């Protein structure tokens, strides 16, 4: 994962500004951070980014890094930037060098001394004493895996940037340049960007930049400047945590999405609908919450008479046989999830059509797609997907409605606010669950993906083991885990008698049953207008429950341990 930012400006800027830009990428990882400048100064720190740590010294060129640890523990030594043996080259890296062990052994035999346990440090040693541009083709030939790298040399106001697999983009500001993992790092400074393609190298100085395709040698490459618009950075406002702010934004974000699908995104919607009509089957590819949204997408499309499947991105190639009659739909909030990108690379090479639902515009997934829809949730800062999960589900329901699934989208979204009327009740339930060891969440049909989504939320934010299951599967084994007092959340939309039977079965074995139901059955009341709104509102109630349990336990709600918002490694 990790976020990288490089800045080279005509006029000196404060090192603190460099860390402020880096802070905008903190959602990519928050284990440690560091900064190097062209005067040869390097500072590294463990923990979340604190802009004040760099001081107010003036610099002309910097590279910075915020880390999500892969190789090596969370220590100052393993924090980036890393240098070669002489200290004249400094690099920051996002990605993983897969043949790291063999290269390290080779370099060790050559006499290189390593200061860290990371794969990234090898990159600095590779360029030691060499001309950087001349050494780029041999670097690409030798280093396997994914990398976006920024490299500076002591005494030179230029950044050498190259990438394979991991994202990298150049922002063109008025008086200089910013290189970063994504546009968000510099969207406060400029709306103009140049996106790197695979296997590209650029030299960026304070007066200009040059791009090259790396193809055994360097071939000059003409690049287009893309003008982009991205919503201004959002603050927490009066909320204690982004997660709560983002849950509370759901009604507004869902309206914004529907407005946009009916107006400015109409052409994209029509294009995706026609791709679906011309395909024999749809295969969603996604991870985490986006996968759970896709499980709902399958059911919506089925009701419109369309065959659909969803495959977890990291296992995509093991579970599918894709041909030219398949439409692959990538679903990703960030559009930068490496598992999804990897899966798309595999199928793009075979000429299969790709559509996508993304939240972050101009992301890699969006740029790899033939057609895309933006889910218009606005920036989501908390690691937990909340409003973006809801908007993914709604975008899928909307497409299915155009294909024949009879449903009134406005009546679905119109009732979302009523979930907040249950907040006090949810808070009370949360208090009773804070000491739970395990929680089971059961659903059927539309509620099954929601059960899995609630369980995922509970695990990542409250650190309680949770399982989201098909209620009908419980009796095939898991029922033996139900003991006196085991919390079991049952998602029971009106008329679902089968889930009521399951609720009785677990209650009879001593479970503490918590109903999420649109009938007066105790528990948490979901005032829905039908099965689609029930599933979204149950997910919202689950998000609130998760939030209040984590708050009760005093956990770092927006940045849970070991995780990052954007998972840019395999």
Measured over the CA atoms of residue 511, residue 515, residue 516 and residue 517, the dihedral's sign is positive
Q: What is the C-alpha separation between 299 and 41, in angstroms, rounded? A: 56
Please name the residues in contact with 157: beta carbons below 8 A apart, sequence gap of 6 or more: 8, 38, 60, 61, 205, 206
First to last CA, the chain: 9
Specify the residue, 340 or 464, whose C-beta has the smaller distance to ligand M6R: 340
Specify the residue, 3 or 523, whose C-beta has the smaller distance to ligand M6R: 3
10 Å Cβ neighbour count for 401?
Answer: 18
Instruction: Compute the least distance from the CB of residue 452 to ligand M6R, in Å.
Output: 11
Instruction: Compute the least distance from the CB of residue 39 to ligand M6R, in Å.
Output: 37
Specify the residue, 90 or 540, whose C-beta has the smaller distance to ligand M6R: 540
Q: What angle do CA 165, 362, 299 make, to 5 degrees?
A: 90
Contact 1, 27 (CB under 8 A): no
**CA nearest 565: which of 332, 361, 378?**
332
Contact 43, 81 (CB under 8 A): no
Q: What is the C-alpha separation between 381 and 440, in angstroms, rounded? A: 27
Instruction: Compute the least distance from the CB of residue 29 to ligand M6R, in Å.
Output: 13
Specify the residue, 43 or 333, whose C-beta has the smaller distance to ligand M6R: 333
Specify the residue, 156 or 234, whose C-beta has the smaller distance to ligand M6R: 234
Nearest-CB residue to ligand M6R? 288
Specify the residue, 172 or 381, whose C-beta has the smaller distance to ligand M6R: 381
DSSP assignment of 304-325: TT--EEEEEGGGHHHH----TT
Instruction: Compute the least distance from the CB of residue 468 to ligand M6R, in Å.
Output: 12
| Distance set, CA 370 to CA 209, 263, 366 (Å) | 29, 20, 8
Contact 160, 148 (CB under 8 A): no
Specify the residue, 385 or 426, whose C-beta has the smaller distance to ligand M6R: 385
In a 3-state reduction of DSSP, which class is residue 561? coil
Instruction: Compute the least distance from the CB of residue 469 to ligand M6R, in Å.
Output: 18
Set 44, 153, 387, 565: catalytic member: 565
Set 2, 23, 353, 525: catalytic member: 2
Contact 504, 492 (CB under 8 A): no
Instruction: Compute the least distance from the CB of residue 371 to ligand M6R, in Å.
Output: 18
For the sheet containing 326-332, what is the strand order?
308-312, 281-286, 326-332, 353-358, 371-374
In a 3-state reduction of DSSP, which class is residue 148? strand
Asked whether the bond before 99 is cis by omega within 30 degrees of 0, the reply is no
Specify the residue, 34 or 288, whose C-beta has the smaller distance to ligand M6R: 288
Annotated active-site residue 565? The verdict is yes
Residues that bind ligand M6R (CB under 6 A): 287-290, 332-334, 337, 340, 383-385, 456, 460, 566-567
| Distance set, CA 37 to CA 13, 64, 65, 463, 514 (Å) | 11, 9, 12, 39, 56
Specify the residue, 63 or 283, whose C-beta has the smaller distance to ligand M6R: 283
Q: What is the C-alpha separation between 289 and 461, in angstroms, rounded? A: 13
Instruction: Compute the least distance from the CB of residue 181 to ligand M6R, in Å.
Output: 13
Instruction: Compute the least distance from the CB of residue 340 to ligand M6R, in Å.
Output: 6
Instruction: Compute the least distance from the CB of residue 205 to ligand M6R, in Å.
Output: 34
- List residues bridging with 139 in a β-sheet: none
Active site residues: 2, 565
């Amino acid at each position: 994962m990790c976020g990288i930012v490089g800045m080279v400006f005509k006029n000196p800027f404060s090192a603190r500004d460099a860390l402020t830009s880096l802070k905008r990428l903190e959602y990519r990882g928050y284990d440690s951070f560091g900064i190097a400048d062209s005067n040869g100064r390097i500072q590294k720190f463990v923990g979340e980014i604190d802009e004040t740590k760099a001081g107010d010294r003036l610099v002309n060129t910097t590279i910075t890094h915020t880390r999500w640890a892969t190789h090596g523990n969370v220590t100052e030594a393993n924090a980036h930037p890393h240098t070669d043996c002489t200290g004249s080259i400094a690099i920051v890296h996002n990605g993983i060098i897969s043949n790291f062990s063999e290269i390290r052994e080779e370099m060790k035999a050559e006499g290189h001394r390593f200061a860290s346990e990371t794969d990234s440090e090898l990159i600095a040693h590779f360029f030691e004493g060499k001309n950087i541009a001349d050494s780029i083709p041999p670097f690409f030939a030798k280093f396997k895996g994914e990398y976006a790298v920024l490299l500076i040399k002591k005494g030179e106001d230029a950044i050498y940037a190259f990438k394979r697999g991991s994202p990298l983009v150049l922002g063109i500001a008025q008086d200089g340049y910013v290189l970063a993992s994504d546009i968000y790092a510099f969207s406060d400074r400029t709306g103009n960007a140049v996106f790197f393609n695979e296997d590209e190298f650029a030299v960026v100085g304070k007066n200009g930049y040059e791009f090259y395709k790396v193809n055994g040698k360097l071939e000059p490459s003409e690049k287009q400047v893309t003008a982009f618009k991205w919503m201004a950075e959002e603050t927490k406002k009066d909320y204690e945590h982004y997660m709560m702010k983002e849950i509370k934004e759901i009604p507004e974000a869902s309206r914004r999405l529907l407005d946009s699908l009916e107006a400015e995104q109409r052409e994209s919607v029509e294009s995706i609908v026609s791709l679906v009509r011309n395909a024999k089957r749809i295969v969603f590819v996604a991870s985490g919450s986006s996968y759970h949204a896709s499980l709902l997408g399958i059911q919506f499309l089925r009701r419109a008479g369309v065959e659909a499947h969803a495959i977890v991105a990291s296992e995509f190639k093991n579970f599918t046989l894709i041909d030219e009659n398949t439409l692959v739909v990538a679903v990703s909030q960030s559009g930068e999830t490496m598992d999804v990108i990897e899966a798309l690379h595999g199928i793009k090479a075979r000429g299969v059509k790709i559509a996508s639902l993304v939240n972050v515009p101009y992301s890699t997934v969006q740029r790899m797609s033939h057609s895309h829809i933006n889910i218009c949730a606005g920036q989501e800062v908390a690691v937990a997907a909340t409003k973006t999960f809801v908007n993914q589900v709604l975008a899928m329901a909307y497409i299915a409605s155009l294909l024949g699934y009879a449903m009134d989208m406005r009546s679905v979204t119109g009732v979302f606010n009523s979930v907040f009327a249950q907040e006090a009740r949810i808070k009370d339930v949360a208090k009773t669950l804070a000491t739970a060891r395990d929680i089971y969440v059961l659903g059927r049909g539309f509620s099954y993906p929601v059960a899995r989504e609630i369980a995922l939320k509970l695990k990542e934010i409250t650190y309680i083991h949770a399982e989201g299951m098909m209620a009908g599967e419980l009796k095939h084994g898991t029922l033996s885990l139900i003991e006196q007092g085991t919390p079991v959340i049952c998602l029971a939309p009106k008329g679902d008698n089968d889930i009521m039977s399951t609720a009785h079965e677990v209650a009879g074995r001593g479970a503490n049953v918590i109903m999420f139901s649109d009938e007066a059955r105790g528990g948490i009341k979901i005032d829905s207008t039908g099965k689609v709104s029930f599933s979204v509102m149950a997910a919202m109630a689950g998000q609130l429950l998760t939030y209040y349990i984590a708050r009760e336990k005093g956990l770092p709600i927006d940045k849970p341990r070991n995780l990052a918002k954007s998972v840019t490694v395999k």
